[in-house]
Chains A and B, each alone.
Chain A
Amino acid sequence: MEPVKGRRETIVFISVSPNPPKSQTSAPRAHPVHPPATPPVRVRSLSTPLLWRFYESLLRIRLSEQRISRLYPTDKIQSPIHLSTGQEAVSVGVCQALRKGDHVYGTYRGHGLYLALGGGLKGFFAEMFAKTHGCSHGKGGSMHLVAPEVGLMGCSAIVASMIPVATGDALAASIQGSSRVIVAFFGDGAVDAGVFYESVNFALLKKLPILFVLENNGYAVHSKVAERHSRTDLHRVLAGVGLRGRRLEGNDVRQVYGAAQEALRSVRQGAGPLLLELTTYRWQEHVGPQSDIDGSYRRPGEKARALRRDPLGICRHALLERGATSRRLDALCARTESEIDRAVAFAEKSPFPGVGQLLRGVYR
């Protein structure tokens, strides 16, 4: 791993592998925690501007979360944060394949999702600071991001709780004859919960337009899937009720995008729900600003493999292969950092909600 120089400081964790994978169309490497993925989708046809869009989105998430980590010790963000560093390609790949009008539901680890959908940076940082101009007007914080204007209908801090809600939105879409598709994002921990099965059963029964995205980052807090489940092929655990599931590595944004496009096409055509299990890796603590990638609960070798499969590194490499220059890549970094600077400054200036707001919004 070789750090890349940004405008002002080292951008941690953006790896450029000295021995990059030879061909991006070959099967991705076996994931450290999970069995090999199903065969990948074809990615050669993706246009270079699209790749740039992916990279820009990945970078925005990575740099925003790094900024949060740096700001955290100042106590300006007074709320628990759950970072998605290392998992960005899941949100970006799926959200890039969505259409305007689609609805998405997420979790407390929702920064990546909010930004990947195009949620505004100013509203994002103002919400981190719990200020008036935050996306939830300072009442929700990091765990309860919302941006209905770009399709993010809500994020919940109770594991699995949004799966049935997303299913209900899909029921509404089906009754309304709407063309929108609903995507429920949840982690591997959510598979432990009963509502996962209950919701999938109902979605299948009613053939609802919903895509279940299982973002498997290897750990539910600090427990591995194998410590919580008798079988670890999570994409198949509900095959018995008829859920078609597919597992692939979730670190190559092109693969995620291709798989999501394919899945969304099927869901949109009325073929009923599908599940995409995207394997990735949580680089950070379950909660908090630090990386605990060297934590004792992790297995040896996981870190090295995770860094080799850095979603930003993979995408960056793909761009370099298409002739992108380091200069242009660095310029994008610098531009994103300035955008974040402006968003942070905006958040600093935004006032805290007045005490008069305390009782506002309990009821509509």
Chain B
Amino acid sequence: MNSSRRRLMSYGETIRQTLHHAMDRDPSVLVMGIGVDDHKAVFGSTLGLSKDFGTRRVIDTPISEAAMTGVAIGAAVGGMRPVHVHMRCDFLYLAMDQLMNLAAKWSYMFGGRMSVPLVVRCVIGRSWGQGAQHSQSLQSFFMHVPGIKVVMPTTSADVQGLLLAAIADPNPVLVIEHRLLYGIQGMVPSVFRAAPFGQTHVRRTGKDVTVVANSYLVVEALKAAEFLSRHGIDIEIVDPVSLVPLNAGPIVESVRKTGRALVTDTSWVSCGTSAEIAALIAEKAWDRLRVPLRRLGNAPATCPVSQPLEKAFYPDAWKITRNVFEMMGRKFPEGKWKDDDIQFKGPF
């Protein structure tokens, strides 16, 4: 696309403008959630919507996630296109019955006669002591149950395209955002256009190791890539922004090229997204693996608040780098790594 037709915009602002565009274009779109019309407006992502579209379509909800999710489902069945927003993914546990037993099953159990055009947005928290209940990424729960689409947009362009696609889709779609992505700038098309589901992006090409990274972990993987390239290792970063439906093609293709796969995920490893992707690699690129594939996710513990523990808990550039060195059969250059030295502030 011609660069003159693109703009540099932060992830958070892109969400805001995309919602504004969707509401402007379609009067059945409504935005609901805790705090969507207050001065903080879910990290700015819903700022000004209530002023422009009124509180009938921009609804501050009681702190009743279970019922409000049902309300969103019912509004969808009743002809609206609700976007239900949660400041943290952790709160979705309260809504699981409605999402899993109703939204995901509505179309199928009623013989395909009806559908639930619902969008649920939620934000992953990380760093600064988010702790046990403000830090979780629940994508694997939703990937497990058929009937809900799941996307994890990484860049501003992703979030513009996928949010529009989600709103236009007749099915329930979970859009998992990341708080640490909100301030990162990225190029977005000046014309609003829905992106197709089922896209997997190659964020960086390389020949030595395939690093599968999603959401904010793409940032960490890019930092790792910078350090690694200084030491002669060239990683390829593949980002499955669409988890359901998942296009494993680019992942498999990349692994078949590099022969090495490190699958990272913003959540835990056990039965998680990384487990699913690792299984797909094992099924489709086993014969090309030169070393055993590896997975990297949150430590199997509850997210701690103390900084040293928190740092040890999360996957990050340093851990990616160490794993890559090991997979290449090389010794990690101790003493060379300086956190401040390796940064990524965008734009994508």
Contact = CB atoms under 8 A, between A and B. Distances in A.
Nearest to B82: A168
Contacts of A171: 59, 71, 74-75, 78, 80
A363 B171 contact: yes
Interface in B113-132: 113-115
A199 B66 CA distance: 9
A175 interface: yes
B78 A154 contact: no
Interface in A334-350: none
B113 A161 contact: no
B30 interface: yes
B113 A165 contact: no
B59 to A, nearest CB: 8
Interface string A173-197: 1111000001000000000001100
A169 B80 CA distance: 9
A173 B67 CA distance: 17
Nearest to B118: A168
Nearest to A135: B111
Contact of B76 (A105, A164, A168): A168
A137 B112 contact: yes
Interface string B126-152: 000000000000000000001101000
Interface size class of A (residues with CB under 8 A): 35 or more
A138 B70 contact: no
Given A168-B72, A168-B78, A172-B78, A156 B101 contact: yes
B69 interface: yes
Contacts of A172: 74-80
Given A161-B101, A164-B68, A167-B70, A138 B80 contact: no
B57 A195 contact: no
A146 interface: yes
Contacts of B270: none
Contacts of B62: 198, 201-202, 205
| Residue with the highest number of chain A CB atoms closer than 10 Å, among B68, B70, B71 | B71
Contacts of B73: 164-165, 168
Contacts, number: 152
| Residue with the highest number of chain A CB atoms closer than 10 Å, among B57, B102, B147 | B102
Nearest to A208: B71
A144 interface: yes
Contact of B70 (A174, A175, A176, A199): A199
A229 B170 CA distance: 40
A323 B102 CA distance: 48
B200 interface: no
B148 to A, nearest CB: 9
B189 to A, nearest CB: 26
A103 B78 contact: yes
A202 B71 contact: yes
B77 A169 contact: yes
A169 B102 contact: no
B67 A199 contact: yes
A214 interface: no
Nearest to B64: A198
26 contacts: A134-B111, A135-B111, A136-B111, A137-B113, A139-B112, A140-B109, A146-B111, A154-B106, A156-B102, A161-B70, A161-B98, A161-B101, A164-B67, A164-B71, A165-B71, A165-B98, A169-B74, A169-B75, A171-B74, A172-B78, A172-B79, A175-B80, A194-B66, A198-B64, A362-B107, A363-B107
The 9 closest A-B pairs by CB, nearest first: A168-B74, A164-B70, A172-B78, A137-B111, A361-B112, A198-B67, A198-B64, A168-B71, A169-B78
Interface of A: 103, 105, 134-140, 144, 146, 148, 153-154, 156, 158, 161-176, 182, 194-195, 198-199, 201-202, 205, 360-364
Interface of B: 30, 56-57, 59, 61-62, 64, 66-80, 82, 97-98, 101-102, 106-115, 146-147, 149, 170-171
Given A146-B114, A162-B102, A173-B78, 14 more contacts: A136-B109, A138-B111, A164-B70, A164-B74, A165-B73, A168-B71, A170-B78, A195-B67, A198-B64, A199-B70, A201-B64, A360-B112, A362-B146, A364-B112
